[in-house]
Amino acid sequence: DVKVTQSSRYLVKRTGEKVFLECVQDMDHENMFWYRQDPGLGLRLIYFSYDVKMKEKGDIPEGYSVSREKKERFSLILESASTNQTSMYLCASRSGTSGGNEQFFGPGTRLTVL
């Protein structure tokens, strides 16, 4: 059974704190993703990684950075959390170097920044 896990389901942080969101997949997938989900906006891609230490910006990378030191783990970092980063964060992974393969999603982390 394929699995993508995220370190926390709920997280509350204060403005200015450094926040780490962790994602682990056990499917040996090359590609991993971080999305932000907001009501009425759907999912928006923050960053993705297609290999260890490789990353590319998505549509809304401002205020975020990522790290992929091992194939199975992809971290999202909020260097200085702000209230407008309060959101649901979804991690996903997929295999392959061509289109059509589905993404497998984690359960999400609901982050609140006070």
Partner 1 sequence: AQTVTQSQPEMSVQEAETVTLSCTYDTSENNYYLFWYKQPPSRQMILVIRQEAYKQQNATENRFSVNFQKAAKSFSLKISDSQLGDTAMYFCASQKLYNFNKFYFGSGTKLNVKP
Q: Which is nearer to partner 1, 48 or 64 (CB)?
A: 48
List of residues 6+ apart from 90 with CB closer than 8 A: 34, 35, 36, 37, 43, 105, 106, 108
Cα 85 from chain centroid (whole Å): 13
Does residue number 59 form part of the binding site for partner 1 (CB under 8 A)? yes
Residues 7, 13, 22, 105: which binds partner 1 (CB under 8 A)? 105
Residues 53, 62, 84, 98: which binds partner 1 (CB under 8 A)? 98
Site string for partner 1, 22-51 (x = CB under 8 A): ---------x-x-x----xxxxxx--x-x-
Q: Which is nearer to partner 1, 84 or 98 (CB)?
A: 98
Q: What angle do CA 19, 41, 89 make, to 5 degrees?
A: 25
Q: Min. distance of Cβ 52 from partner 1 in angstroms?
A: 15
**Residue 77 host element (H or E):** strand 73-78
Paired residues of 1 in beta bridges: none
Paired residues of 74 in beta bridges: 23
Q: Which is nearer to partner 1, 17 or 67 (CB)?
A: 67
